[in-house]
Amino acid sequence: MNTENLRWTRAPQVYSIQPGRIEITTMPHTDLWQRTYYHFRNDNAPVLQMETEEQYFSFVVKTDFTESHHRFDQCGIVMYLDSENWLKGSVEYENETFQHLGSVVTNHGYSDWATTAIPADVKVMWYRFSRRGDDYCIECSQDGKAFTQMRVCHMWEGHGKIRFGIYACSPEDSSFKAVFTDMKITECVWKAHDGQQPD
């Protein structure tokens, strides 16, 4: 994957882009969230993306968040179309015991959040983001080989040209260095449904 095709939606103050490796140092009080439950909106996380009109593809990236240490520190994959239409997948630090592996889908200004608890000593995660038209799949892997499904969703504004890539943020008073490597774009590995109906 050519990192020269990536463009900042919002650039952090401290970052490094090299062939095959991107580092983002988060700034305090940065986040992506819209309205639901918490009633607040925060739309200032650094987002680095590329554009495509390709309707069927998969994007893979390895994230290293060894330095995350404060509640909600996070980094992962993102498809940020505008402030009210986007999705993300990440691990969010919670405490010394566990973290949240999860995803957020925001359609027309309202975010949801689906999570599962994982041990706090997990410090590396691969993500695979796949597109089939305006439907999307997020998967994760601890070894970059065996991926498991996190989320299948429809994006109401996710047709035609989209932007996708990586992000990192620290919603509270924190900062850490997020490292992204092993980025690649492949043919869509999320195959079409075979039409089988439930029993």
17 found inside a domain: yes
Long-range CB contacts (< 8 A, 24+ apart) of 122-125?
122/91, 123/64, 123/65, 123/66, 123/68, 124/62, 124/63, 124/64, 124/65, 124/66, 125/62, 125/63, 125/65, 125/76, 125/91, 125/101
DSSP string, 46-90: -EEEEEE--SEEEEEEEEE-TT--STT-EEEEEEEEETTEEEEEE
What confidence score (pLDDT) does residue 195 get? Answer: 75
24 found inside a domain: yes
What confidence score (pLDDT) does residue 199 get? Answer: 67
138 found inside a domain: no
Q: Domain span at residue 85?
A: 3-50+62-124+157-181
Q: Which residues of the chain fall below pLDDT 50?
A: none
The whole-angstrom separation of Cα 25 and Cα 196 is: 46
Q: What is the CATH number of the domain that holds 26?
A: 2.60.120.200
What confidence score (pLDDT) does residue 39 get? Answer: 86
Number of domains in the chain: 1
187 found inside a domain: no
161 found inside a domain: yes
pTM of the model: 0.96
DSSP string, 126-150: EEEEEEETTEEEEEEESSSSS-EEE
147 found inside a domain: no
What confidence score (pLDDT) does residue 1 get? Answer: 84
